[in-house]
Amino acid sequence: MLEKKIITQLRNVVGKDAVLTSREDLNAYSYDGTTTWTHAPDVVVLPTTAEQVSQILKLADESKIPVTPRGAGTNVSGGSIPIKGGIVLCTTRMNKILDINKTNLTATVEPGVVLQDFNIALAKQGLFYPPDPQSFLGCTIGGTVAENAGGPYCVKYGVTKQYVLGLEVVLANGYIMNLGGVTVKNRTGYELIMLFTGSEGTLGLITKITLRLIPMPPANKTMMAVFDDMAVGGQAVSNIMASGVVPAKIEFVDNFVLRRIEEMTPMGLPVDAKALLLLQADGSPAAVEAESKQIVDILKKSGAKEIKVAKDASEAAMYWKMRSAGFAATFGAAHTVMAEDVAVPRDKLVEFIRKLDEISERTGFFICYLGHAGDGNLHPSIFTDIRNKEEFARAQKAMEEIFEAALSLGGVLSGEHGIGLEKQRFLKKAMDPVALNLMRKIKTILDPNHILNPGKIWEEERV
């Protein structure tokens, strides 16, 4: 519990209405997109300027109060859970698009801008920002930078870090630091922008972001392929990537998720399919036509049972709506859903799918999954009930086997969701101990009192 004088000081900084202390408000900020973590803060503060953020962090640093940065809370790694209590510093009121420069192909935004709102504003000017996490309807750009978010488009266009040109970051002591700028090329010193991109709110609080844009591709075409075997579907992905064609998107959905989506929102989907691939080609009209034909030919040769090419934009939108509904369909399937995020080399995707089947059979837990097959990034999910301690412990063990399987194939613990609370106990297995120690030292240099998002990424040592 914070002292009343701290609450008063916070109200003096941001105004009474921007400091939340009621039990109902605190509960609303006690969870994120996961189903396994919850912890209420002592107070929620909603600043509107970098100067206010600076004053809040100075106050917190002087009093050694934990600060958990938060956007919309759509993350699924426990990263925005205030596990140590203290202050939740929520940036959703910092929601201005400050500049869109069509000539320079850049945009500057505040962290609380909702990604979908940004995309709509860009589309009006024929511009395109590729990173598209499936929470795009609600997630904020600050959160996507802090998590280095991905999404379906990343197979062709890359993840968030490829588009961050400049950042304004408030350090733990309140210092407002500017990094990078609006130029595409910038080889000035260490790549500190990359240090903060993906840092999960542990090194500083992002208050302004400059992003690289590209022109909107003039044409696109969506295809759906049905398979009787998940591994065969995975091999089809490898065959496409080996052919030299790089689709804008290659998404994978298994039978369980497919049936759940159809139950929730009937679309006439092929519910008997063991696996479904969604693909999109984009570019010039001529290139899209040629690539689509080549992709369809490869899918046929790879054993697709059925292939549909969307006849128009409306049908294509329906297919992608189905994919974006995948997480909702999964999370509604059990009291507790352990939905994870691992990535393996693309040429190991089939082997990883087979390992998932083996783990499922051995542990007795049904494992469903969907994900960004084009970049080897799958989201395996285990259904359990955290109220049943024995079952939940076994589910955690099964998930540990999934992580170990990914690592054994040269994969990583997280492709896009981050470490947060969910995977910190596995970090020692996934990182060189010297690199892990270096991360700790960087954290201490930038945040000596360890107030910023404490308890995240690694299991803490007492300091």
User: Looking at 90, 113, 129, which one is the last position of a domain?
Assistant: 90
Nearest to 37 by CA among 295, 339, 341: 339
Residue type, 159: V
Is 401 in the same domain as 345?
yes
Are 223 and 302 part of one and the same domain? yes
Q: How far apart are CA 339 and CA 258, in angstroms?
A: 16
Least confident segment among 98-102, 374-378, 399-403: 374-378
Please give the average per-residue pLDDT across 245-260, as a whole number.
Answer: 89
Write out pLDDT tens, residues 162-171. 999 999 999 9
- The answer to whether residue 112 scores a pLDDT higher than 70 is yes
Asked if the structure places residue 11 within a domain, the reply is: yes
pLDDT tens-digit series, residues 173-232 = 999 999 999 998 898 999 999 999 999 999 999 999 999 999 999 999 999 999 999 889
Averaged over 318-324, what is the pLDDT?
Answer: 82
CATH number of residue 310's parent domain: 3.30.70.3450
pLDDT of residue 1: 77
Whether 450 is covered by a domain: the verdict is: no
- C-alpha distances out from residue 433 to 248, 428, 430, 438, 439, Å: 36, 7, 9, 9, 10
The total number of structural domains that make up the chain = 4
Q: What one-character DSSP code corresponds to residue 461?
A: P
Domain, as residue range, for 389: 334-416
pLDDT at 461: 61
**Please, which residues bridge with residue 381 across strands?**
339, 368
**What is the pLDDT, as a whole number, of residue 318?**
86
pLDDT, average across residues 286-314 = 95
Domain check: are 127 and 176 in the same one?
yes
Both 19 and 68 in one domain: the answer is yes
Decide which of 197, 215, 233 is a domain's last residue: 215
Give a yes or no: residue 426 inside a domain: no
Token pair listed for 44:
């929620």
- Tell me, rounded to whole angstroms, the distance of Cα 169 from its chain centroid: 20
- pLDDT, tens digit (0-9, with 9 covering 90-100), for 36-65: 889 999 999 999 999 999 999 999 999 999
Q: Are residues 117 and 86 in the same domain?
A: no
Provide the CATH number for the domain around residue 408: 3.30.70.2740
Q: Which pTM value belongs to this model?
A: 0.93
CATH of the domain at 164: 3.30.465.10
Using an 8 Å Cβ cutoff, are 43 and 87 in contact? yes
Q: What are phi and psi of 258, to 5 degrees?
A: -60, -50
The pLDDT, as a whole number, for residue 463 is 42
Please check the confidence at residue 450 and state whether its pLDDT lies above 50.
yes
Q: What is the mean pLDDT of residues 67-91?
A: 96
pLDDT mean over 316-333: 79
Q: Per-residue pLDDT averaged across 81-107, rounded?
A: 98
Amino acid 323: pLDDT: 80
- Residue where one domain finishes, among candidates 49, 70, 90: 90
